[in-house]
Homo-oligomer: A and B are copies of this chain.
Amino acid sequence: MDSSQRKGVSFEQVTLKDSFWTKWLSVHKKAVLPVCIANCEEKSGRISNYRKAAGTLPGEFEGRYRDDSDVYKSLEGIAYSLAVQPDSELERKADEWIDAIASAQQEDGYLVCYFIMGVNGDQRWSDMNKHEDYCLGHMIEAAIAYRHATGKDKFLKTAIRFADHFLSLFGEGKRHWVTGHQELELALMKLYEETGEEKYLKEAHWLLEERGHGYGRGEGIWGKAEWGSRYTQDDKPVREMTDIAGHAVRAMYLYCGMCDVGKYLKDGAYLQALNRLWESTVLRNMYITGGIGSSKDNEGFTADYDRPNDTAYCETCAAVGMIFWNHRMNLLYGDGKYADIVEKELYNGALAGVSLDGKKFFYVNPLASDGTHHRQEWYGTACCPTQLSRFLPSVGGYLYQTDSAGLWISQYISSRTETVIGQSKIALSQQSGFPWNGTVKLRFEMECKTSFLLSLRLPDWCKDFELFLNGKPYPAPYREKGYLKLMREWDNGDELLLDFKMPVELVRAHPKVKNDQGMIAVRRGPVIYCAEQLDNTAVFDSVVFDRETVFTQQWEENFLNGVMTVVAHTKAGEYRMIPYYAWDNREASPMKVWVPYRES
């Protein structure tokens, strides 16, 4: 751990110029955001609820107790969108929402519509699993984002009042609180870093330490009796955790909170637990797409290596949660294995959650389908659409990190950023062919020569690459923990060319995964492939790969928004594959990732 100085370059400082991602940002702006706004407003009562709670609109609460969180996640997405692309109409809409939200705040700071309008009297804070603190957490995240984007602090003041209300009731020497859905921990840490007020760090730490002592028992946070305390990660103190368990999204947010708090703790127990949990998650419980959570029953985990493909749960929110967590782990450790997971989710597990037109969303992401599983515009529990809405515009925040020694490049996405290293202002332009080809050009601009250490992620899927410095081959760059390390006195106009070879590759699952035994998947660079029956009517069910199967690739500009397709030339005929993220964007069709492989 050498986290003392490593910081992410925030997405506001990164201008994306990427042909792949700017398409998605445009889809976000044109479709994802409007879908979220429409569904928070006229298609559901989410915004009206605030006005009703404030008494400015008649009527009863509509929806479910957790619905406020969708408003906040939508607002967070709006804030990030405004940060990269100002839009006065959108900002006006956000201000209108914020006014409604603030109007509903109670004298004591409390602000959850469902409970303010409680039909059974005041049941505030009576059930740890009713997401009041979860809503608060998302409010804090959105409010900080909105202040950063617009400079306006009304929303943040509202959030702080609600946070301080929570702190007045719960904490060291006050009432116990084992949240049923983690989120507030990481949000309080954001508030701590925003305000510098140590009480929020202490409260986040306290919330984490509440778990595993039985305080949640009897308060209903354990949901179905058969799930037990593992469902909400309350079966043991977080510092003793060894294996991921329970609800996948809750686990991700818990681990994010542990990262955020853990870097301030001296004993290192959180960080050690996180290392164990990471191995448990990534080595024993992650699908090849980056999806986690194999079971619909608990929206989470069952046993190590249990990975049904057709009934895989793999919630979109959890895939995005993996990005949040792994990005934090990389900031702590500077190890490319975490950025590899971020990349895997970016191009597979998370991205599959949204349709190519941005109008529909998967909640559940199986690796095989009989053709009946489809994206929907909205869900009763709308966490996934709003999760993507707040995630997509912030993609630029996962590219670059800085520390006292220099600059880290963790994702290869065309962009421009300006940052300060030591005393020097450095501008970096990146031109990347990812995910379709592995050519990356990096160009530095600076006023005067500057010595620093440049760390370039060497993706885990890359077996062969070339590196050129100012046009000349640079052999044998030093490698450490998944990064190539270059130190020199960098000069204005210095150019690096990276060529990560990206052939079609076959991949196996861990041999203990019974569901995938004797099967092979296809990967090209960071992209996992699948096939839909509609492209393969003759061979879809019977296809078998073997040692003589040849794979070819083709760029198809006008297919699925532009994709590299892969064709397997098998004995039985051609088997056409598309990127996994792009499935279910045409007529309904069965789909699968894993294909039987005949060894002999």
Q: Does A1 contact B (CB under 8 A)?
A: yes
Q: Does A269 contact B (CB under 8 A)?
A: yes
27 interchain pairs (CB within 8 A)? A267-B269, A269-B269, A269-B272, A271-B272, A275-B275, A283-B480, A283-B481, A453-B511, A463-B464, A472-B547, A472-B599, A473-B547, A475-B506, A475-B520, A475-B547, A476-B505, A476-B508, A476-B520, A477-B508, A478-B508, A478-B511, A480-B510, A485-B510, A485-B511, A486-B511, A487-B511, A488-B511
A283 partner residues in chain B, CB cutoff 8 A? 480-481
Question: Smallest Cβ distance from A433 to chain B, in angstroms?
Answer: 22
A295 to B215, CA, bound (A): 55
A507 partner residues in chain B, CB cutoff 8 A? 476
Q: Does A268 contact B (CB under 8 A)?
A: yes
Q: Does A600 contact B (CB under 8 A)?
A: yes
Closest 7 CB pairs of A and B: A487-B511, A476-B506, A272-B272, A478-B508, A475-B506, A476-B508, A478-B510
Interface residues of chain A, those whose CB is within 8 Å of chain B, are 1, 267-269, 271-272, 275-276, 283, 405, 453, 463-464, 469, 472-478, 480-481, 485-488, 505-512, 520, 547, 597, 599-600
* Copies of this protein chain in the complex: 2
A480 partner residues in chain B, CB cutoff 8 A? 283, 510
Most buried by B among A267, A272, A520: A272
CB distance A474 to B511 under 8 Å?
no
Instruction: Answer whether A600 and B472 are a contact pair too, CB < 8 Å, given A268-B272, A511-B486, A512-B453.
Output: yes
Question: Smallest Cβ distance from A517 to chain B, in angstroms?
Answer: 8
A268 partner residues in chain B, CB cutoff 8 A? 269, 272
A268 to B269, CA, bound (A): 8
A589 to B553, CA, bound (A): 56
Question: Smallest Cβ distance from A535 to chain B, in angstroms?
Answer: 23
A478 partner residues in chain B, CB cutoff 8 A? 508-511
Find the B residue at minimum CB distance from A597: B475
A349 to B510, CA, bound (A): 35
A469 CB contact (under 8 Å) in B469, B473, B511, B599 = B599
Find the B residue at minimum CB distance from A406: B511
Find the B residue at minimum CB distance from A488: B511
Find the B residue at minimum CB distance from A273: B268
Find the B residue at minimum CB distance from A454: B511
CB distance A599 to B474 under 8 Å?
yes
A463 to B480, CA, bound (A): 15
A510 to B476, CA, bound (A): 11
A485 partner residues in chain B, CB cutoff 8 A? 510-511
A547 to B478, CA, bound (A): 17
A597 partner residues in chain B, CB cutoff 8 A? 475
Question: Smallest Cβ distance from A596 to chain B, in angstroms?
Answer: 13
